[in-house]
Amino acid sequence: MTASSCVTRRHFARWWLTAALLLLSNAARATPWLEAGDNGLRSDVELLASHGLINALVTSWPLPAGQFSALDDTQRLANEPLFIQQAAARVRAALQRSDLDPQLNVRGTSHPAVVRSFQTTARADVDVWGQALAIAGPVDGQLRVGLRADGDLHHSDVVLDGSYLTTHFGNALVYGGWIDEWNGPGWISSLILSNNARPFPKVGIKRDDPHAFETRWLHWLGPWQADFFVGLLDDKERLDDNTAFGNLRLSINPLHGLEIAVQRSVEFCGHGHQCNPVNAAFHLYNDDRRQNSTNEEATIELQYRGRIGALSFSPYFQMMNEDTGPFTHAYTSYLSGLSLVGTRGANGDLWRVVFEFADSVATINAFDFSESFHGIAYGNAGYPDGFRYHDRTLGFSLDSDSKLVTMQLMFQHHDGWRLTLAVHRAMVSTPQLAQIQAAGDPRALHNVVSAVPLRFSEIDTRVSLPWGPLRGYLAMRVRNQALPNHLGGHVDGEAGLSWQF
């Protein structure tokens, strides 16, 4: 870590602490949103959406607290089944915290996971953070200071991941900080933005309560959400360092249970590039027939949530384009899946099964699998580091030219413990991309997970246990073969402990 980055972070922390102390007298007991990274909490949220207790716009994490105001209607909840009441209680509890909310979170692993899903796992061999201060009032926020290190502690970084400040202007939630995002309907992967990479600093704005337009001309769109942010990819390993990153996501709920979303993310400015943010914002024709001054990705997403008795089901689809075809010369990647959730017994126990397939071998034309452009997902010649941050992809954890098939089973007991079992079949990179990468050109298209094609199967098991203010988990990843480049062995373990004082 450079001296300048240390100074910048010290100045930010000092400013944050001053603002927090000034606002502490107005402290309340609420959070501005639900953070990404907890499979159990997400399962509860999607279950409530399936039963119509909240609107169906639940694919843009973090989810603002205003979206859950309907859960304050205790009379309505009293008429719901026990498992729905328990899910609502868990969501309401997650939206509350003590005045200072001090926490300590410790994770350790033999190797960080290669396949990363919505559920947060260690990003380094040693992954520790402490939350020293949380504030609420006109300005909400929290300060987290973390340490990420390799197993022998020879290489370490101090990070502010998870720190943020937010404030409201009417129904607009304005935010800034190092905030984990998850955009998309997938449980195992998101093609466009996920929590695979560390969060980068950003400032943005989204709607707190995504209610429908009142005018009859637009009311048919149903509840809608808009989320816009601008950030900085400030990792010093980049060839195109200090690249700016802009993102706009729009989602609507026109029919009960149906969510439709479109998203555009763009890299602009940075070392070696002319910096014209206005041009980047309105540069909507990014294809192979025009000079490319930015690096863009865009998604179209569909998800439907329905019920048959106590069984809730949710098919979903996401397609990501490198260019703006949208169907020809689009360089399209794909993700599809199905989620099923039901109850077991009379005590409110829940089970959820997810089937998901992700494919980042980009086809030149959408849905035409006869011709591909290898390595184009996430990168281009102008921005060789592409949609990556600290050597992890901002979207799909296996990076470009990869495929992943997953079946995941989750069982959630009413007492709070949770068991998750996932079976993965992974294909990382392709011979065509490996040949490009072998030439050694640092500006060529590449896969950051592996320079050579990998094929492996993996069983990922995780048990999460609550114990008063403590919550711990144990995880084991078993593969049919050891992975090269220190990615992992036949068996890898992980453990974590969270303590809320």
State yes or no: pLDDT of 2 exceeds 70: no
What predicted TM-score, i.e. pTM, was given to this entire model?
0.91
What distance in Å separates the CA atoms of residue 222 and residue 211, rounded to the nearest whole number? Answer: 7
- 3-class DSSP assignment, residue 263: strand
| pLDDT (tens digit per residue) in 317-327 | 999 998 666 67
State yes or no: pLDDT of 220 exceeds 90: yes
> Do residues 376 and 366 make contact, with C-beta atoms less than 8 angstroms apart?
no
- The sign of the dihedral angle between the CA atoms of 38, 386, 445, 451 is negative
Mean pLDDT across 130-156? 84
* Domain coordinates in residue numbering, the chain: 3-500
> Picking from 188-197, 254-263, 327-336, 393-402, which range would have the lowest pLDDT averaged per residue?
327-336
- Helices 39-50 and 82-94 pack at an angle, to 10 degrees, of 130
Mean pLDDT across 389-394? 95
Spelled out in words, what is the top-level CATH class assigned to the domain 3-500?
mainly beta
Mean pLDDT across 386-398? 96
The pLDDT of residue 138: 87
290: confidence class by pLDDT, cuts 50, 70, 90: low
- 3-class DSSP assignment, residue 178: strand
Mean pLDDT across 113-133? 93
**H/E run at residue 245:** strand 243-252
**35: which 2 tokens?**
């953070």
The pLDDT of residue 310: 87
Summary count for the chain: helices (H), strands (E):
6, 26
Distance linking the first and last C-alpha atoms of the chain: 31
What distance in Å separates the CA atoms of residue 214 and residue 137, rounded to the nearest whole number? Answer: 28
